[in-house]
Amino acid sequence: MKKTSTRLADGRELVYYDLRDDTVRDAVDRRPLERTVTTSEVRRDVLLGDSIAVASHRQGRTYHPPADECPLCPSRGERLSEIPDSSYDVVVFENRFPSLAGDSGRCEVVCFTSDHDASFASLGEEQARLVLDAWTDRTSELSHLPSVEQVFCFENRGAEIGVTLGHPHGQIYAYPFTTPRTALMLRSLSAHKEATGGENLFDAVLAEESAGERVVLTGEHWVAFVPYAAHWPYEVHLYPRRRVPDLLALDEAARAEFPRVYLELLRRFDRIFGEHEPPTPYISAWHQAPFGALEEFEGVTRDDFALHLELFTIRRTSGKLKFLAGSESGMGVFINDVPPERAAQRLREAATA
């Protein structure tokens, strides 16, 4: 992998990740852009004990542009985009309309391929590995920013999820705090460790699920399963068999196997509703240990956390979506229409022929 860092016309950082070491990236952003002005602010909810971001400048962000005006395609001729070069393998740049910025963190866009009509599932294994390497590198770089406590790499796919740009891409949020879901996991880790005399809760869950009926697929270094208490109709958790706290700690064997396993999972998601259905909308989310202090979670260290990916769709059956209604949105209590055991069976049956 070759990494080349440059700057866009308004000062934002852009990084090319290339498969070939001899690739030259010297294209200049020719757009007449002014410096990006953001109004991001993090506010603490004293009743719930969590934080939210206020980012009013995002009201003006690009919204469902036609394909020939996509800002994530390469620049060609006089058609100028966010990527100055006329081609690329993988590229990451600071979001022009970030939810978090400055002392409030940072947001980046990850373009998985220059092919506008592709999807992550259609990538080859070499390209998917390059994306994994880019996620890992960005996690490392962002973790060193003084305002950052947690790095979150994710992909939103599909208009039903709320995606406003059709080009295959994901995002990275670098938060100035530990996110609420991660904090819940850390509290459960702490409580379980104390109650069992030191047992790791992630290890216990992985051991139980790996031997159960909700396994979807396995590799030598990875295992994917539908969790016992899945929140979403089709939800898969992908874990490395060797517990590590973040992407940086994955060994080469796990990195090499990841593309095959992950691409198969994504392709099964596209098959579970039938070949005549539109591509399955989904969210794919990496859970990594925070880089900030963990003193409030008694007895827990970063090494106790288990890196894992959660992949889920809001489609519950053909032509029907799972909406977050009163119980979910009002009280945070999910009601799942699809038994996890049935979801796992469907995903096993959707294996590549």
**Taking the C-alpha atoms of 188, 194, 197 and 198 in order, what is their torsion angle to the nearest 10 degrees?**
50
Residue 183, helix vs strand vs coil? helix
Using DSSP's 3-state secondary structure scheme, residue 153 falls into: strand
The two three-digit tokens of residue 51, written as one number = 């934080």
Residues 18-27 pLDDT 10s: 999 999 999 9
Q: What is the pLDDT of residue 25?
A: 97
Torsion on CA atoms 265, 269, 275, 280, rounded to nearest 10: -140
Is the pLDDT at 145 greater than 80? The verdict is yes
Q: What is the pLDDT of residue 333?
A: 97
What confidence tens digit (pLDDT) does each residue in 280-310 have? Answer: 999 999 999 999 889 999 999 999 999 999 9
Q: Where are the alpha helices (DSSP H) in the chain?
A: 125-143, 180-196, 201-210, 252-271, 331, 340-349
Task: State pLDDT tens for residues 185-214.
Answer: 999 999 999 999 999 999 999 999 999 999
To the query of whether residue 169 is one of the catalytic residues in this protein, the response is: yes
Backbone angles phi, psi at 314, to 5 degrees: -90, 0
Spatial contact of 247 and 139, defined as CB atoms under 8 Å apart = yes
- What percent of the chain has pLDDT above 90? 90
The dihedral formed by the CA atoms of 36, 11, 109 and 59, expressed in degrees to the nearest 10: 10
Does 97 score more than 80 pLDDT? yes
Residue 166's pLDDT is 92
What was the pLDDT predicted at 353?
53
Residue 67 has which token pair?
Answer: 């394909």
Cα 65 from Cα 67, distance rounded (Å): 6
Counting Cα atoms < 13 Å in the Cβ hemisphere of 53 gives 24
The pTM assigned to this predicted structure is 0.96
In the set 169, 192, 287, 308, the catalytic residue is 169
CB 257, CB 339: distance < 8 Å: no
